[in-house]
Amino acid sequence: MASIIELNDIRKVYGGVIVGVDHVSMSVEDGEFVTLLGPSGCGKSTLLRMIGGFEQPTAGQIVLAGRDVTYEPPHKRDVNMVFQDYALFPHMTVGENISYGLRMMGLPRSETRSKAVEALDLVGLPEKIDQKPHELSGGQRQRIALARAIVRNPKVLLLDEPLSALDANLREQMQVELKHMHEKVGITFIMVTHDQTEALVMSDRVIVMEKGRVAQDGTPAELYDHPETPYVANFIGTTNFLPARVLSRDGGSVVVEAGGTRIIAEVGGALPEGEHIRIGIRPEKLHFAESGASGPGNTLEGRIEEQIYYGLGMRTVVRLAEGSTVLVDGLLPEAVARTTLPEIGSNVRLSIAPHNVRVFAAEN
Amino acid sequence: MSTASTDTAMISTVSRARKPGLVSRYAADMAFMAFVALLMAFLYVPIWVLIIFSFNDSRTLTWPLSGFTLDWYGTLFSNQDLLAAIGNSFYVATSATILTLIVGIPAAMAINKFQFPGKALFRRLILLPITLPGIVTGISMLNMFRLFGFNLSLETVILGHATALLSVVVTQVYSRLQRLPRSLDEASADLGAKGWQTFLYVTLPNLKTAIIGAALLSFVLSFDEIPVTFFLTGRENTLPMYIYSTMRRGVTPEINAVGTLIVLASLVLIVISVIMSREANRSRQSL
Ligand SMILES: Nc1ncnc2c1ncn2[C@@H]1O[C@H](COP(=O)(O)OP(=O)(O)OP(=O)(O)O)[C@@H](O)[C@H]1O
Ligand SMILES: [Mg+2]
């Protein structure tokens, strides 16, 4: 597949001092669903708005379908945007809102109407065509905004936190709907969100941003299982970090000292002996070891300090012998009553497989 | 049906619970109503007096009324000076309103849209005339026109009014613009509209009611303006100036008749502006 949009070393500086986006390069393939993920203020919206043409980069280049559009105004770009506040025109009916972009293309009224009807069918709201936006619910407005953007059949659809104004239930439902919509229309989607679940659920690829830069770029599984930095490891899912020191290395694995014991981690790359590092372990990759049994994995010893029940499973806070705490997540097996789980205060052994231990640079 | 009856049951419980305070509350309500009635009387009795005397068939404004007549309206329409003054006032008010809209709307949009050095100062300067007494505006514009060698005429009055009213239009339009999400403009551009199309199809329709409101207000303010007109008019007179000059010889019933017509016209304008603002409220809920 060919790349539909390419950003080359994009930089955006506001007022000469505030760096919004810093040296970002990325490429999106035709038909892909890419999500820009990051905390508030990391520059996701700025990046999206530069693709839409609402902001101009301070430096760098934006190429859309082989054409340099870096300084093109929005109305000349073949991209459309679903705005966070939907930005439906309050004085127009739903049908007029959807037809607006078609009228600007110079289509005759008869044609715009029938296309608007088609688009409304696509989002499942054909009966709302003659209503005004203020007569619709939040979720309905969201769908109209979506219909208005895709009716022009743009090369790329931009979505700035499209679901953030919806309540939790509707949001989950719309996540699935948007994903289906993407599959149905085959347009490239670039979405912005600060919600990691949303990013993982919906996207083919997630670009995690940190302070205006790309922290990591990969599929949801790559990001979750192989975060390259502690920032990504912590932003996507939860990670237990333990300070560690490299003891020895042996082919594809290193032995480190952490949590008061020796832990083997499978890693590539060079790590000098004696180096201070950090290891990261996902809470759900830690298991309570059978007492007495010693498997091939690593073992950590500690005492249960707190248990948090959350329906689907149980989160246990374990204080390790050397003083730090780790979280352990486990699903509750169907037949097991809570009483058979280790009790607060009791000593436990935790096991973790070497390939589930991530190695990061030490905190400075 | 059943919910309705439980509702009424609940209401009666509530009112029973409040019964001890009911008498004193009734008294308080009455006092308040009386106060409002007095206030209304203070505001509106003079207008009623004016209207009633415009139909009274005596030249002197004395009680009791002597009889009903429409003569004053007849003499009004045969008084050439008065008719000319009314015509002048319409001309001035209409032109000043249009002029101030032409300058004021773009000014408000510029203040809203662009960041430029001295923007705060620019805003203050535009809003200044509303706080300046008419005398100051009048004298300073008179000096300016003299300096440039302009002859005073209704047109200089129009310029004066437009300057004084600019702030009215700018404030009204600007405050509406501020309530319009910027994303509307962006969405319009995103959907392929050029700048002028966005202005015509998105911005202007959303400003419509604010513009009409500002226009009505400007028209009325210009229509009964005296201080600025006093300094800037040439030989022709506007209606308020004419009334003022004839009043020195005492209030005539014709003046009452003119006043009554103005009250009537104002009522129409008020009704229009109320309907407009109601529409504006309805569409604003969507934002
Ligand atoms: N118009 C502007 N003028 C000055 N600074 C700006 C402007 N717009 C954005 N910034 C700055 O650029 C940075 C990135 O902003 P951006 O809106 O892209 O963040 P974001 O990742 O979308 O955050 P959020 O999740 O809160 O929307 C922020 O530090 C912000 O303060
Ligand atoms: Mg944002």
User: Does A14 contact ligand 1 (Cβ within 6 A)?
Assistant: yes
CA distance A265 to chain B (A): 50
> CA of A83 to nearest chain B CA: how many angstroms apart?
7
Task: List chain A pLDDT tens, one digit each, 364 residues.
Answer: 578 999 999 999 998 888 999 999 999 999 999 999 999 999 999 999 999 999 999 999 999 999 999 999 999 999 999 999 999 999 999 999 999 999 999 999 888 999 999 999 988 898 999 999 999 998 899 999 999 999 999 999 999 999 888 888 888 888 998 999 999 999 999 999 999 999 999 999 999 999 999 999 999 999 999 999 999 998 998 999 999 999 888 778 888 988 888 899 888 777 788 889 999 999 999 988 765 555 567 888 899 999 888 878 888 999 998 888 999 988 776 555 555 567 788 888 888 988 899 999 887 6
> A280 CA distance to ligand 2 centroid (A)?
29
Q: CB of A43 closer than 6 A to ligand 1?
A: yes
Are A101 and B191 within 8 A, CB to CB? yes
> Is ligand 1 within 6 A of the CB of residue A20?
yes
Look up residue A60 and give its two tokens.
Answer: 């760098």
Q: Whose CA is nearest to atom 7 of ligand 1?
A: A14
Residues by chain with Cβ below 5 Å of ion ligand 2: A 45
Contacts of B278 (CB under 8 A, 6+ apart): none
> What are the domain boundaries of chain B?
2-55, 71-286
Question: Are A83 and A133 contacting, i.e. CB atoms less than 8 angstroms apart?
Answer: no
Instruction: Report pLDDT for A290.
Output: 66
Q: How confident is the model at residue B3 (pLDDT cuts 50, 70, 90)?
A: very low
Q: Tell me if chain B has a CB within 8 Å of the CB of A39.
A: no
What is the sign of the dihedral through the CA atoms of A279, A284, A290 and A295? negative
Judge contact between A354 and A298, C-beta under 8 A: yes
Sign of CA dihedral A182, A187, A193, A196: positive
In ligand 1, the atom with minimum distance to the C-alpha of A194 is: 25
* Chain B residues whose beta carbon lies within 8 Å of the beta carbon of residue A148: 191
* A53 inside 8 A of chain B by CB: yes
Amino acid in the structure at residue B111 = I
Apex A169 CA angle, A167 and A174, nearest 5:
90
Is A95 in CB contact (< 8 Å) with chain B? no
Residue B5 in this model has a pLDDT that exceeds 80? no
Cis before A220 (ω within 30): no
**pLDDT tens track for A244-293:** 999 888 778 888 988 888 899 888 777 788 889 999 999 999 988 765 55
State the pLDDT at residue B117: 80
Would you place residue B24 in the very low, low, confident or very high pLDDT band (cuts 50, 70, 90)?
A: confident
Q: Is A18 in the pocket of ligand 1 (CB under 6 A)?
A: yes
Measured between beta carbons, which residues in chain A are less than 8 angstroms from residue B210?
Answer: none
* Cα torsion angle, B155, B160, B165, B170, sign: positive
Nearest CA, atom 18, ligand 1: A43
pLDDT band at B285 (very low <50, low <70, confident <90, very high): very low
Q: What is the mean pLDDT of residues B117-121?
A: 80
Q: Ligand 1 center to residue A43 CA distance, Å?
A: 6
> Closest-lying ligand to the alpha carbon of A39?
1
B188 and A90 within 8 Å at the Cβ level: the answer is: no
Contact A85, B185 (CB under 8 A): no
- Closest ligand (CA of A159): 2
DSSP per-residue letters across B149-218:
TPPPSHHHHHHHHHHHHHHHHHHHHHHHHHHS-THHHHHHHHTT--HHHHIIIIIHHHHHHHHHHHHHHH
CB atoms within 10 A of CB A67: 10
Tell me the pLDDT tens digit for each residue of B38-55.
Answer: 988 888 888 888 888 888
pLDDT of A34 reads 96
Q: What is the rounded average pLDDT for all residues in chain B? A: 81
Please tell me the predicted confidence (pLDDT) of residue B13. 45
A56 lines ligand 1 (CB under 6 A): no
- Distance (Å, whole) CA A284 – CA A326: 11
Size of interface A-B (CB pairs under 8 A): 71
Q: Do B286 and A90 touch (CB under 8 A)?
A: yes
Nearest Cα to B112, choosing from B39, B212, B53, B181?
B181
- Bridge partner residues of A36 (DSSP): A192, A207
Are residues A81 and B287, on separate chains, in Cβ contact within 8 Å? no
Asked whether the beta carbons of residue A83 and residue B201 sit closer than 8 angstroms, the reply is no
Neighbours of A1 (CB within 10 A): 7
Higher pLDDT, B252 or A89: A89
Report residue B242's pLDDT band, with 50, 70 and 90 as the boundaries: confident
Q: What is the mean pLDDT of residues B136-148?
A: 86
| Dist CA B197 CA A103 (whole Å) | 11
Q: Which residues of B are less than 8 Å from A101 in CB distance?
A: 191-192
Q: What CATH topology corresponds to B71-286?
A: MetI-like fold (1.10.3720)
Per the CB < 8 Å rule, is A132 touching B283?
yes
Name the most confidently modeled range: A57-61, B154-158, B213-217: A57-61
Q: Which positions in chain A touch B205 (Cβ < 8 Å)?
A: 91
Beta-bridge partners for A329: A315
Closest atom of ligand 1 relative to the A42 alpha carbon:
21
For residue B286, the chain A residue with the least C-alpha distance is A134
Please give, one letter per residue, the 3-state secondary structure of chain A. Answer: CCEEEEEEEEEEEECCCEEEEEEEEEEEECCCEEEEECCCCCCHHHHHHHHHCCCCCCEEEEEECCEECCCCCHHHCCEEEECCCCCCCCCCCHHHHHHHHHHHCCCCHHHHHHHHHHHHHHCCCHHHCCCCHHHCCHHHHHHHHHHHHHCCCCCEEEEECCCCCCCHHHHHHHHHHHHHHHHHHCCEEEEEECCHHHHHHHCCEEEEEECCEEEEEECHHHHHHCCCCHHHHHHCCCCEEEEEEEEEEECCEEEEEECCEEEEEECCCCCCCCCEEEEEECHHHCEECCCCCCCCCEEEEEEEEEEEECCCEEEEEEEECCCCEEEEEEECCCCCCHHHCCCCCCEEEEEECHHHEEEEECCC
B222: tokens are 């210009």
How far CA B137 is from CA of B146, B160, B275, in Å, comes to 14, 7, 33
The Å distance, Cα A169 to ligand 1 centre, comes to: 28
Cα distance between residue A119 and residue A149, in whole Å: 10
Cross-strand bridge partners of residue A288: A350
Asked whether A208 lines ligand 1 (CB < 6 A), one says no
Rg (CA), chain B: 26
Residues of B within 8 A of A100 (CB-CB) are 188, 191, 193, 201
Identify the three-state secondary structure at position B68. Answer: strand
The pLDDT of residue A157: 96
Smallest CA–CA distance, residue B181 to chain A, in Å, is: 7
CA A56 to CA A71: how far, in whole Å? 6
- Pairing mode, if any, of strands A18-29 and A3-14? antiparallel
**B191 CB within 8 Å of a chain A CB:** yes
Q: Using an 8 Å CB-CB cutoff, list chain A residues near B206.
A: 90-91
pTM: 0.79
R_g (Cα) of chain A, nearest Å: 25
Q: State the ligand closest to the CA atom of A37.
A: 1
Q: Say which of A53, A85, A152 has its CB closest to residue B183.
A: A85
Partners of A281 in beta bridges: A240, A357
Distance, CA of A256 to CA of A244 (rounded, Å): 6
pLDDT of residue B258: 85
Contacts of A105 in chain B (CB under 8 A): 192
Ligand 1, atom 24, lies closest to the CA of A40
Query: Which among A82, A89, A46 has a CA at the least distance from the CA of A177?
Result: A82
Q: Counting beta carbons within 10 angstroms of the beta carbon of residue B46, is it exposed (0 to 12), middle (13 to 18) or buried (19 or more)?
A: exposed
The residue type found at A292 is: G
Q: Which of B184, B189, B190 lies at the smallest CB-CB distance from A89?
A: B184
